[in-house]
Amino acid sequence: MTTAAPITVDTVLQARWIVPIEPNDVILDNHAIVINKGKIVAIEDAAQIKANYATENYIALKHHVLLPGLINAHTHAAMTLFRGLADDLPLMDWLNQHIWPAEQHWMNESFVRSGTQLAVVEMLRGGTTCFNDMYYYPDIVANVAQDSGIRAVVGLIIIEFPTPWAQSADEYIRRGIRVHDEVRNLELVTTAFAPHAPYTVSDSSLKKIQTLADELDIPLHMHVHETANEVEQSIKQHKIRPLERLSQLGLLTPRLIGVHMTQLLDSEIKVIASEGVHVVHCPESNLKLASGMCPVQTLIDANVNVALGTDGAASNNDLDMLGEIRCAALLAKGNSSDPMAVPAHQALSMATINAARSLGLDQQIGSLLPGKAADIIAVDLRHPSTQPVYDPMAQIVYSACREQVTDVWVNGKHIVANKELRGIDVSALLDDVAGLGVNINQYDERHEDDLPS
């Protein structure tokens, strides 16, 4: 009787714990992950893996937990350059008096490239391997993502006022379709239509976008019911709430990713559940802007798929998904007066498989299963803030910080190795954005002086 020779593969990752996300609420002890050609080949007991597979790249992580790369389901990546620009203001004052004027003055290809690079560095170092973006110059965002090795869904933005990216709704749509065609063959990039919000996009534009999204088979990514004021203005202008308007226009479908959703009636929750609409919860941004509370546990109880996003660094003020996970879990408990609301495994699912599902990528990423892309992160739990370890999943959600992310793989490529980010000159980037920040702040101060009192 002969023994089969071990199968040669690219990489084997052995860790103290593995949290695959699927099956739900499972922790694997002393297992290993086999990676070959960017895909997960097997996840088995480490001894079994050593017997069946051979590799020149065997990485043993004795104090770490491996889990799927985190997915940031709502970002404005380039807005890292506005981080801290106009803090402690209501949403519409923040937008109308500071952010939108600054964008009109500063936004161009170079701005978006630098801001997105800064965001990518922050996200990769914090364990985010995929982000769903909504911003101008999506072609630049796509190229930065592909070059940096991070996965991205780039938003084909539509808004009814002119910006340096486009001058009319029709031009936004035309340019968006062109970007979709240009990036469709990129390994790490997909697209979504990204109408900004019901209050900034007309009925005719929304109808066109819905038709095109169906034709191109891509999601619709949109701010919806972010604030009480948004709902009130819709009732004044359209005589109906924004979700009802979207329903009448045919947008309430499984393609729709509704971001924020802080103002929801029970009847609206039933409708979005029945229509398969996805919700992206952005707890820290909503808290900072006092936009309201997304009823996360109620949505989950109604079988709505709830994902997690940071929003932009201008309103958060970071892109820290581990921090967002903790905030979401704690806020849900306080908001519902239920300590069992959004337990640790549910919070992790919101930042992994739920987010992947909202983006239509759940067959590729979001959990650690054979056949899926090897988007994996390692978190070192041998740290004063995460010792002792009774439950590694709970430690990740309630105790771990992003500085404990030591290694990141995207599509099997080792992008962050022992906390060192490969392929990006971070020092030069920081020098570049520091200079930009000085100029932007000086402009904002002059602009503020010119506003009527």
Q: Do 389 and 317 reside in the same domain of the chain?
A: no
Confidence band for 104, pLDDT divided at 50, 70 and 90: confident
Q: What is the pLDDT of residue 182?
A: 96
Q: What is the pLDDT of residue 145?
A: 98
- Averaged over 331-344, what is the pLDDT? 96
- Domain assignment present for residue 148? The answer is no
- Averaged over 151-155, what is the pLDDT? 98
Per-residue pLDDT tens digits for 27-53: 999 999 999 999 999 999 999 999 999
Peptide bond into 388 cis (omega under 30): yes
Q: Do 88 and 204 reside in the same domain of the chain?
A: yes
Q: What is the pLDDT of residue 440?
A: 79
Q: What is the pLDDT of residue 89?
A: 87
Q: Do 412 and 333 reside in the same domain of the chain?
A: no
Q: What is the pLDDT of residue 107?
A: 87
How would you class 105 by CB atoms within 10 Å of its CB: exposed for 0-12, middle for 13-18, buried for 19 or more? middle
Res 266 pLDDT > 60 = yes
- Domain assignment present for residue 428? The answer is no
Q: Do 415 and 323 reside in the same domain of the chain?
A: no
Please tell me the total count of domains within the chain: 2
Confidence band for 449, pLDDT divided at 50, 70 and 90: low
Confidence band for 1, pLDDT divided at 50, 70 and 90: very low
Res 450 pLDDT > 70 = no
Supply the range of the domain harboring residue 40: 7-68+370-421
Q: Do 353 and 415 reside in the same domain of the chain?
A: no
Res 387 pLDDT > 80 = yes
What is the pTM assigned to this prediction? 0.96
Dihedral pair phi/psi, residue 69, rounded to 5°: -55, 140
Per-residue pLDDT tens digits for 193-250: 999 999 999 999 999 999 999 999 999 999 999 999 999 999 999 999 999 999 999 9
Give a three-class secondary structure readout of 196-247: CCHHHCCHHHHHHHHHHHHHHCCCEEEEECCCHHHHHHHHHHHCCCHHHHHH
Q: Do 279 and 247 reside in the same domain of the chain?
A: yes
